[in-house]
Structure 1
Amino acid sequence: MSELGYAAGWRLIRRLPPGVTGAAFALGADFAARRAGPGARRLRGNLARVVPRADEAELDELTRRALRSYARYWHELFRLPAMDHAAIRAKVDQQISGVEYLDAALAEGNGAVLVLPHSGNWDAAGLWMVGYAGSFTTVVERLKPESVYRRFVAFRESLGFEIVPASGGTGSFRLLLDRLRENKVLCLVGDRDLTGTGIEVSFFGQPTKMPGGPARLAASTGAALLPVGMWFTEDGWGVRIHPRIRVTSRSEVPAATQATADIFAGDIAAHPTDWHMMQTLWATDFVAAQEAA
């Protein structure tokens, strides 16, 4: 059923008028906000960390808008194969900032590690990157069922992304090292630890873990570690490439990961409803969930 749902999304939604499908996705988001299921409640709890002074009514509105933002991402994802890719790149090009930091990294010849949170539309940003710097390499979570994972891999490869599975082990890490030594670009999501082996950081004043892989890759190769912020604009996508975080040895990886978390926090605080974090993130929330269970 899951695979049929995704297949229908990619086959049908792009063939229908975008105004109709966009309105349907927005209505679905509003329904999810009223229903307040587990994902919506977790999103609301995460937003309460980001906007700690919000009262209950403000949190309700933030959650509704965040779910609409998430619905917009999925609507665009399903329509992306039929959209004008040149127009998407042009729209991102109008609103992106910090490209000079990427240019400087590639001019050095050691590649670039772009690390980003679950915000905005990372597929639209990736499409821009393909047009600007050629194919880039990214690591993706291995979804279940396997058929859905294969659909996502095929979709993103059709956009020009090189996909590496997160469960690929040491072979995947060596491939990423090779790409940096070839002066290529890596784009890695870095605001949630999927392995349990991440580095502890302070994020919005509370402890959590974030993956140390991006900083380790930069330290091992001399590549530039470049945090990226993303959000939606009214008719497009905002992207900000931040200045390089210097990391020259393994001993500096924890500090570089904390610096990345701080930059993420700034961008997310500026655009909280475009942060699509519907999973448990902070250590205290994991403990509360275990106690409740």
Structure 2
Amino acid sequence: MRIDPGALLLSAARVVPRLPAWLSAGVFAGVAEIAALTGVAGVPQLRANLARAVPDATDRELRRLTRLGMRSYMRYYEEALRLPTVSDAQLGARVRAVNTEWVRAELTAGRPVVAALAHLGNWDLAGAWATRFLGPVVTVAEHLEPEELFQGFLDFRRGLGMTIIPLEQDGSTFRALLRESRSGGPIIPLLADRDLSRSGVDVELLGERARVAPGPATLAVATGNALTSVTIRYERLRGPRRQAAGSRWGIVITFSDRIEPPAGAQREEAVTRLTQAWVEDIGDFIRRHPEDWHMLQPVFVADLDPARLKPAGSVA
């Protein structure tokens, strides 16, 4: 019998918030263990990606790291599905934000901040926190199949307070981002650590050639707004904070300092250099916290099918 992942996720979205937190957390942790043990779709690629982050790891260490990575990944889904039931007080207790002062100053002055994100930690929890405690959030969602699943994700994230722009291939998405960047001071986080399209930018990530999205750098250059890299990791909660959060886990959101383009650089060079700069920030973080990098798809050029690989920009 074939299982429809989309239907399964939609069903989980309806059921999980009604379950006791300890039960849903246990179920998702069990799913993670089974997935890591059986090597279901995506797990071998996760292990291959993690091997770049920890090149000296033994096979045993890589197996353990893959297990931890899947537990972190499944924790993300379980927590995200429960977000509609989380109070503002619990949300504030679950998140510890680092280096937000300059970001708040930009947003308060009505200047948007563009944030380059990777598949790290729980970005839905981070987005929900930001809408309540930092500023308006505008982001992009990639189309999913079936359409019912995609609309479900749109409704879910919009219900958390975020403005979501569907990703289109006709240029309308970028134009919508430009319009949003002129309306007040939103923060615009863009998930960008994988892009196999013709516009993808070749960079060095973890010492290897990889392909990422140019969106964050392109938007920052086009608008003159600040660019930052944002990393997210899990941390165990204890004592009063754990009680206030209503969870054993919280996240740490770290904003880099403003990433500046080289003086006098032309547009294409500025985009390339800015992209490599945020990728280096993300890469340094992944080396320190590889278990929270949920990349279950190919991102390194060596793992891609050369016949399907389209020309891309590259770092000189």
Shift of residue 249, structure 1, vs aligned partner: 4.8
Structure 1 letter corresponding to 2:258: R
Q: Is 1:34 aligned with 2:37?
A: yes
- Checking the alignment, whether the CA contact within 8 Å between 1:129 and 1:135 is kept in structure 2 is yes
Q: How does 1:126-205 map to 2 (within 5 A)?
A: 126-167=127-168, 169-182=170-183, 183-205=185-207
| Structure 1 gap segments, 5+ residues each | none
Structure 1 letter corresponding to 2:125: A
CA distance in 2, matches of 1:237, 1:190: 20
* CA 63–288 in structure 1, closer or farther in 2 if over 3 Å, else same: farther
Q: How does 1:1-293 map to 2 (within 5 A)?
A: 1-92=4-95, 95-107=96-108, 109-167=110-168, 169-182=170-183, 183-234=185-236, 235-247=249-261, 249-250=266-267, 251-287=269-305
Stretch of structure 1 that moved more, 102-111 or 146-155 = 102-111
* CA 142–194 in structure 1, closer or farther in 2 if over 3 Å, else same: farther
Structure 2 letter corresponding to 1:113: V
Structure 2 letter corresponding to 1:102: V
Stretch of structure 1 that moved more, 275-284 or 163-172 = 163-172
CA distance in 1, matches of 2:108, 2:86: 32
SS of residue in 2 equivalent to 1:252? helix
CA distance in 1, matches of 2:286, 2:88: 27
CA distance in 2, matches of 1:86, 1:188: 26
TM-score (ref. length: structure 2): 0.87
Shift of residue 288, structure 1, vs aligned partner: 8.1
- Checking the alignment, whether the CA contact within 8 Å between 1:220 and 1:249 is kept in structure 2 is no
- Checking the alignment, whether the CA contact within 8 Å between 2:196 and 2:211 is kept in structure 1 is no
Shift of residue 264, structure 1, vs aligned partner: 0.3
CA distance in 1, matches of 2:51, 2:307: 16
* CA 5–202 in structure 1, closer or farther in 2 if over 3 Å, else same: same
SS of residue in 2 equivalent to 1:167? coil
Higher helix share: 1
| Structure 2 gap segments, 5+ residues each | 237-248, 309-316
Shift of residue 89, structure 1, vs aligned partner: 2.5
Stretch of structure 1 that moved more, 58-67 or 184-193 = 184-193
CA distance in 2, matches of 1:121, 1:271: 14
SS of residue in 1 equivalent to 2:115? strand
Give deviations 1:91-130, integer Å, cap 9, x for gaps: 31xx210101212332554311011110000011101110
Stretches (4+) displaced over 6 A? none
CA distance in 2, matches of 1:107, 1:20: 41
* CA 240–8 in structure 1, closer or farther in 2 if over 3 Å, else same: same
Shift of residue 287, structure 1, vs aligned partner: 4.2
* CA 3–246 in structure 1, closer or farther in 2 if over 3 Å, else same: same
Query: What is the percentage of aligned positions where both structures have the same residue?
Result: 36
- Checking the alignment, whether the CA contact within 8 Å between 1:110 and 1:221 is kept in structure 2 is no
- Checking the alignment, whether the CA contact within 8 Å between 1:101 and 1:241 is kept in structure 2 is no
Question: How many pairs were matched up?
Answer: 288
SS of residue in 2 equivalent to 1:46? helix
Shift of residue 188, structure 1, vs aligned partner: 0.5
CA distance in 2, matches of 1:30, 1:90: 28
Structure 1 letter corresponding to 2:152: R
Aligned-pair RMSD on alpha carbons? 1.8
- Checking the alignment, whether the CA contact within 8 Å between 2:100 and 2:255 is kept in structure 1 is yes
- Checking the alignment, whether the CA contact within 8 Å between 1:179 and 1:185 is kept in structure 2 is no
Stretch of structure 1 that moved more, 32-41 or 244-253 = 244-253
Structure 1 letter corresponding to 2:37: R
